[in-house]
Amino acid sequence: MKNIKSFTLALLVIVSAVTSFPSWALNVTASVNKTQVTKDEVIQLKIVADQKLDGNEVDFSQLSKDFYLGRPNFSSSVNILNGTRSDSSIWTVAIAPQQIGKLVIPSFDVDGVATAPITLNVTIDEQTPTTKDMIEVRTQLSKSDLYPKESALLDTRIIVKVDPRLLQNPNLTSPQATGLEIQALGEPKQYQAVVDGMEVMIIDQSFRVTATHSGQFVIKAPTLTGGVLYGNNRNGTTRILTLDTNSPTIDLKVNPIPDGYTGTWLPTSKLSLSQTWQLDDGKTVDSTSVSINSGDSLTRTVELTAIGLTSEQLPNITINNPKAFRVYSEKPSFKDNDDGSVTMTTKQVLIAQHGGSFTLPAIRVNWWDSANKKAAETTLEGLNVTVAASETLNPEPSASPTASNTTTTAKIVKDPGMWPFIAAVFAALWAVTSVMWYRSRRSNLSDQAKLSVKAGADQTPKQNLINAINSKNTIAAQIAYKRWRPTVWLSNEDDIALQCELDKMTKAILGHHTDITWDDKTILKLIAKAKSEQPKSETSLAHL
């Protein structure tokens, strides 16, 4: 009897404990504010748990396939009433169905407890605007018939006909195409405008479309994706209209490279060449010939402009100048023009080393005229240059005018007549003139050497050279060195070292050799050293 009483007492304690603490079992419910909805209509999904839980217990990502999702919100609370405590955790999120028919909100697992699924009946509202009513896409392709490696400009315009503040998660897509290279030119331009009497937002962007191989291609134009918040005043509902990804397509034909074409492949609808010649004093050469002195420079600037090509596709212009000129080439520069063309500017500075008559070569560029579908050639004329030898420069062997077009024709004379006598007279006069010129030149050199011994070297050419080096003007430094060199005495080793320093300075500054480092300490020391050296005697000067 005593055991029965003990068992009964224990059973009553257990029953009392179970009925007194119902919160030990987790209860979770899921609900919506309506189950009869239209496509894109916004409704609220709520999940409630009667315990305090972490906000990460619910994952709404499984809804993204069939619903537009807003940003989830989580809150928790504790209530104590008449000594009784109650906890709650609440998750809410705005959803909008993207398909019509019966859609099921699936079950959610919350801390091991599953919610019941919810079925929605989704219909369509005939009054709902479509994507075409809210977004308009316009495109313009500069050329729809290309060749491999040729480019065209694609201009796109997206017209947003709704208030931009109603856009939800907007995203600007890029043009899509297989077998073509598409590159955006700059950032999209966004601004407000009025189109057909309606205030709209416009997004403009340009792209470069480059063909890689022949064939027929389709380009899908860019568009705006995301959603638009839409309120229906008639029934008071709010919807998030999903913008579809359908956009206009553009057809593009790429022709094959013509059979039998030889040379560098350079397809473009228009290619032009221009050039300028500039002297030391800044004057421009307007004729096909010019006369300069040894040590003077000529600057040749060549501009090549082509449509439908990138800077990487433009050819390197190689000019084989006569050896009588020391040539310094600057790195080509490029400029993108508003019409889609690109301009390459190449500059060369040529310094005459000795006297003679020379022809600086013409420039020829072969290319494929894609507009007329034929091979083409564009040419720039060369320049005839007569260089007068300068006595102030180091004498160098005179170069024969190998670049000249002059030809000599020999004729057989049967009766010489008076010609031998006349030739002898001219020969004698030439010999006398040569002797007088030689004596005069020796006298001038001797006088100049004496003046140098007495008064020191002229400082003006030296200062010009130092100024050019300090300002890192490579061309001015080369010219100043040629004019300074005859005014001082240098050993062959120092002369070679100075020229090497000038060449190293040019390569380092013009940027063709990034691995070369240069500073002006060595060259300035060599210049200072030249000032202290003096000739040994006047007799030795006479032998120069």
pLDDT digits (tens, 9 = 90+) for 431-451: 444 445 444 444 443 343 333
Residue 258 or residue 426, greater confidence: 258
Mean pLDDT value of segment 475-481: 80
Cα 266 to chain centroid, rounded:
20
Quick one: how many helices (H) and strands (E) in the chain?
8, 31
Look at residues 304, 258, 311 and name the one whose alpha carbon lies nearest to residue 147.
258
* Mean pLDDT value across residues 122-150: 89
At 327 the pLDDT is 92
Average pLDDT in the chain: 79
442 or 10: which leads in pLDDT: 10
For the ranges 111-120, 392-401, 407-416, 518-527, the lowest mean pLDDT is seen at 407-416
516 or 49: which leads in pLDDT? 49
pLDDT of residue 457: 38
- Residue 406, pLDDT > 80, answer no
> In terms of pLDDT, which residue wins out, 81 or 312?
312
pLDDT band per the 50, 70, 90 thresholds, residue 525: confident
Query: Can you say whether residue 455 is alpha, beta or left, with left for phi > 0 and alpha for psi between -120 and 50 degrees?
Result: alpha
pLDDT of residue 39: 84
What are the pLDDT digits (tens) for 306-335? 999 988 889 888 899 999 999 988 889 999
Contact (CB, 8 A) for 117 and 104 = yes
Confidence of residue 11 (pLDDT cuts 50, 70, 90): low
d(CA 490, CA 499): 12
Nearest to 129 by CA among 163, 154, 81: 163
pLDDT category of residue 42 using cuts at 50, 70 and 90: confident
Question: Is the pLDDT confidence value at 46 over 50?
Answer: yes
Q: 258-309: per-residue pLDDT in tens? A: 988 888 899 999 999 999 999 988 899 999 999 999 888 899 999 999 999 9
Of 125, 206, 203, nearest to 167 by C-alpha is 203
* CA angle in degrees (0–180, nearest 5) for 245-248-253: 130
Other CB atoms within a 10 A radius of the CB of residue 135 amount to 21
Cβ partners under 8 Å of residue 436, min gap 6: none
Is residue 407 classed exposed, middle or buried when 0-12, 13-18 and 19+ CB atoms within 10 A define those classes?
A: exposed
Q: Please tell me the least confidently modeled range out of 9-23, 212-226, 331-345, 359-373.
A: 9-23
> Is the model's pLDDT at 420 over the cut of 60?
no
Q: What percent of the chain has pLDDT over 70?
A: 78
Q: pTM score, two decimals? A: 0.56
pLDDT 10s digits, 344-395: 999 999 999 889 999 999 999 999 999 999 999 999 999 999 999 865 444 4
Range ranked top by mean pLDDT from 136-150, 256-270, 515-529 = 136-150
Distances from the Cα of 457 to the Cα of 391, 448, 527, 533, angstroms: 17, 10, 12, 10
Region 95-114: what's the mean pLDDT? 90
Distance CA 326, CA 342 (A): 30
In whole angstroms, what is the distance from residue 170 CA to residue 138 CA?
Answer: 18
Q: Output 20 or 124, whichever has higher pLDDT.
A: 124
Q: From 183, 98, 181, 193, select the one nearest 138 (Cα to Cα).
A: 193
What pLDDT does residue 281 have?
84
% of the chain surpassing 90 pLDDT: 38
Label residue 402 by pLDDT band (50, 70, 90): very low
Q: Which residues contact 457 (CB under 8 A, 6 or more apart)?
A: 487, 488, 530, 531
Strands (E), 270-402: 271-278, 289-293, 297-307, 325-329, 333-336, 341-352, 356-360, 363-369, 374-380, 383-388
Which residues, 6+ apart, have CB-to-CB distance to 236 below 8 Å? none
pLDDT at 216: 96
